[in-house]
Amino acid sequence: MRTMASRGLAAALGAALAAMAGGVASAQAPASPPKLSGDVVRIGVLSDMTGPSADSSGPGAVVAVRMAVEDFGGKVLGKPIEVLQADHQNKADVGAGIARRWYDEGVDVIVDLTNSAVSLAVQDLARQKERLALHVSPASSDLTGRACSPFGLHWTYDTYALASGTAAAVTKQGGKSWFFLTTDYAFGHALARDAGDVVKRLGGTVVGELRHPLNTPDFSSYLLQAQASKAQVVGLANGSGDTINAIKQAREFGLTQAGQKLAALLLFISDVHAIGLEAAQGVMLTEAFYWDQNEETRAWSARFAERFNGRKPSMLQAGDYTAVTHYLRAIEKAGTDDAATVMATMKATPISDFMTKRGFIRQDGRVMRDMYLYQVKSPAESKGPWDYYKVLATIPAEDAFRPMEKGNCPLVAGAAK
């Protein structure tokens, strides 16, 4: 018969062995996946709600994001999804202030970000806060170049792709001398730079450039100087309201009638709608999406139009929907809303939806997708409302976007210095 001491020793030994076994089991067991950081996933739509880009993005961006959330069932990982919206007024300091407050209040991701100056400010802030920024609407290629971030994605297009499409096509058709009218902030500077590089690479020349303030109502003096330059092509390195005004006034001045070509380096379907086919006909442009491409694009665009006063979506509004959908799928797949984990999951997951086929996200944050060269139809060619484009060419992603190693992105090993 064992003594009390022997029984105590055996019990202690058993407990020690059990503890050791438990420790081994704990070390070998996989850690439980992280969960949501709060009781809600918050998406902030930061856009130009009332200014020159309001038609191509703005309120329509909010509609598209809400559609994505509703199509996802309104919840992810069992938690509700909340959508916030704000107007950055095309001011970098205003946009950065809103973004800082949102991130501090628990917003998980900021999306849309029309206006490159605002977008670059938010990119820096998102890096500091380790929160996500989905740059759907800005154009500056610097977002995946010198200003790239492990927490930012450039979703729809960029200035390099616009130049690779429109500027290349016009130059190859004989437009060898260019004069740029450039909106005077980060977007315009990047667009004129990238387009000018393409023109020169193809044997053309840039004979001059004038920079104008954002949202300029009167282009008369700029157009007169462009005419006096005798350039074969007047390149509009601007967007939205500025492009609309420039095209309308160029026709009034007889610029195209006198033989000069007009190249709109950034033109949205909402801009063509505002200009009218009579004035816009024949203009070439590059976009990532057109509502009438195929059955999928027509079906989604019809749903969007039902919610947005019968208006067809721009490529930006389609991009807002697809970017948020990809983001929510990544949360669901990763089992967490942790920014770094979700970003890694987004980059590891191919993109395939009504807007993009065989898409993927590069290390520098650039979404790789085919782009399309279009020409605006004449009134006689159009078969009805919003029937504005004819396809000239598909530009493969690898031709449309800047090679990653040439962007000087610090995230890219071996990037050019």
What DSSP string runs through 233-300? EEEEE--HHHHHHHHHHHHHTTTTTTT-EEEESS--HHHHHHH-HHHHTT-EEEES--TTSSHHHHHH
Give the tokens for residue 127. 């890096």
Among residues 191, 198, 178, the alpha carbon closest in space to that of 266 is found at 191
Terminal Cα distance for the chain, rounded: 82
Q: According to the model, what pLDDT value does residue 367 have?
A: 98
User: Which residues in the chain come in under a pLDDT of 70?
Assistant: 1-37, 414-417
- Could you tell me the CATH superfamily of domain 41-157+293-365? Response regulator (3.40.50.2300)
Check whether domain 160-287+372-397 has CATH 1.10.8.350, yes or no: no
Q: According to the model, what pLDDT value does residue 414 have?
A: 55
This prediction's pTM: 0.86
Residues of the chain with CATH 3.40.50.2300: 41-157+293-365, 160-287+372-397
79 and 281 in contact (C-beta within 8 Å)?
no
Distance CA 30, CA 28 (A): 6
The DSSP line for 336-396 is S--HHHHHHHHHHS-B-SSS-SSBEE-TTSBEE--EEEEEEPPTTT--STT--EEEEEEE-
Amino acid identity for residue 43 in this structure: I
Residues 6+ apart with CB under 8 A from 328: 41, 68, 69, 72, 76, 81
